[in-house]
């Protein structure tokens, strides 16, 4: 079973963020090798925080040594190589990690792409969920594999390929 806790600060557009985050996380997990998490007896928990650029800037500086805000940060709480055995917990709960989105960056990127903030945030939550599941984009092969999963998850929700604009680049 999957549970998503949303911490929502003021300033974000009026959207049902709980529903959006739950749907995005569920789609990402369904399109991963960990699809069974959705029906396991164990409770898999993810926290999604919608916060300010300033807070994300501070986190990005502290944890990634990058002195600027970014659109999304993910903080996995389970090592990649231990994800498959997480259902064997003592208390039946697995904290997969936290996903943090920056309001101003997300809004600006959505406007630049000509899409709604909700659609862009959905993509960022899907992206963040894949990071919590051990995916990364440090090299081209990893990036292509992760992007393919993101695209499949988003298409399953009726959203378009967020990477489609790279064809001419």
- Output the six-digit token pair for 27: 């789609």
Does 137 appear as a known binding residue? yes
Contact 121, 19 (CB under 8 A): no
Does 31 appear as a known binding residue? no
Does 8 appear as a known binding residue? no
| Burial of 76 from C-beta contacts in 10 A (0-12 / 13-18 / 19+) | middle
Helices (H), 45-164: 53-64, 103-113, 117-132, 140-156
Annotated binding site for Zn(2+): 127, 131, 137
Residue numbers belonging to the annotated binding site: 127, 131, 137
């Amino acid at each position: 079973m999957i549970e998503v806790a949303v911490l929502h600060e003021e300033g974000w557009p009026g959207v049902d963020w709980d529903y959006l985050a739950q749907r995005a996380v569920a789609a990402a997990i369904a399109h991963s090798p960990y699809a069974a998490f959705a029906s396991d007896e164990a409770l898999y928990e993810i926290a999604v925080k919608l916060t300010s650029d300033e807070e994300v800037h501070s986190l990005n500086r502290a944890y990634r040594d990058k002195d600027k805000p970014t659109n999304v940060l993910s903080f996995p709480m389970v090592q990649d190589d231990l994800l498959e055995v997480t259902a064997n917990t003592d208390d039946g709960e697995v904290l997969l990690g936290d996903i943090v989105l920056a309001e101003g960056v997300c809004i600006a990127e959505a406007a630049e792409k000509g899409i709604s903030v909700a659609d862009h945030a959905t993509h960022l939550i899907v992206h963040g969920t894949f990071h919590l599941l051990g995916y990364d984009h440090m090299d081209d092969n990893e990036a292509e594999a992760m992007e393919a999963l993101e695209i499949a998850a988003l298409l399953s929700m009726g959203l378009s390929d967020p990477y489609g604009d790279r064809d001419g680049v």
